[in-house]
Structure 1
Amino acid sequence: MKWLFHIIGLILLLFVALCVAGYFIPARQVVDANVQLDADPYTVFEVVSDLKSYPEWSGIGGPESEWVFGGAADGTGQTAAWQSGARFGSLEILQSTPGEFVLVRTIGPLGEQKVTLAIQESGAMTNFLIEAQRDLGGFPYIGRVAALRQNVATQEAMDRAAIGLEQMTVAQN
């Protein structure tokens, strides 16, 4: 019977330790990727502001995913949903400014996040920044500890998207 109390005590101690560790982790997770593109900002904007181009460059859903598009024909208000096996998600363009940025809300295996696709002209090149922000919730803060693992997956997704956009804009030139 004594071993049962030891196990219960260890479980409670682990729970309290995770809560304390999570308290010190920021409530918002921010992940980004940056790439320089050999294309003008408006060409890049045309690609990132059209959800129908996302299967080609973003890596969202994977190569075998099925996509459905809706909402506005272009710009703000576009929506898309994808499915690949048991995984699925959706995207919606919330805001866009031609030649500058596109703000997209995504919901998928990594949860809900807002992704900013920023474009800035830099001489003959265009700087492209993808930044994903996700709110991690509050007490008991254990979700913040679990999100550390998601941070790596989000960074890999951002890197794939940056490389995919770079390859797509090179092919268009």
Structure 2
Amino acid sequence: MANRHYALTPPVAGSYLEAARVSLDKHHISPKEFTLENDKVESMAKVEWDSADDRVKATWANTDDATCFGAYALALAATELLRGMFAIKRADRLTGADYYIAPIGEDMEDLENWFRLEVSGTSLDKSIVKNRLKQKVEQTKQGNSNIPAIAAVVGFRAQLILLQTVDESS
């Protein structure tokens, strides 16, 4: 991930991937098919990972942290796969987002094709994943930014990743 996502150094990308492995291991054995919904258009993706060893599990024993940081890995991978967009900068507080994303090769100073990406993760069921998406859409609307937004929610147990472009008018 670090080779493609400018805003992810190798240590950060590695930690996100470790957290994702721990979160996935809680519910599944690799590989697993995940449903991806990109603005309500469904597709499938095979998610493969190496099982976390005891040291990685000990490192990510805080379930909230593992879910949050693991969701970054899967949401950014889904955004890359479905939209050809990559993390280019970490978003600051109160922007209503976690990352700024843009198509590969974009001018780092040209905000015209940037999006904000708000990410959340959960290990609860599909209805909670869908409800969380609504919350994240609202959070982006409240953000102190006029850059368009995408909300993403990763459902580790539900095998579901949702991406929704935020319509500011609704």
TM-score, shorter chain, exceeding 0.5:
no
Structure with larger RCO (C-alpha < 8 A, sep 6+): 1
Considering fraction of residues, name the structure with more strand.
1
Q: TM-score, normalised by structure 2?
A: 0.30
Q: TM-score, normalised by structure 1?
A: 0.29
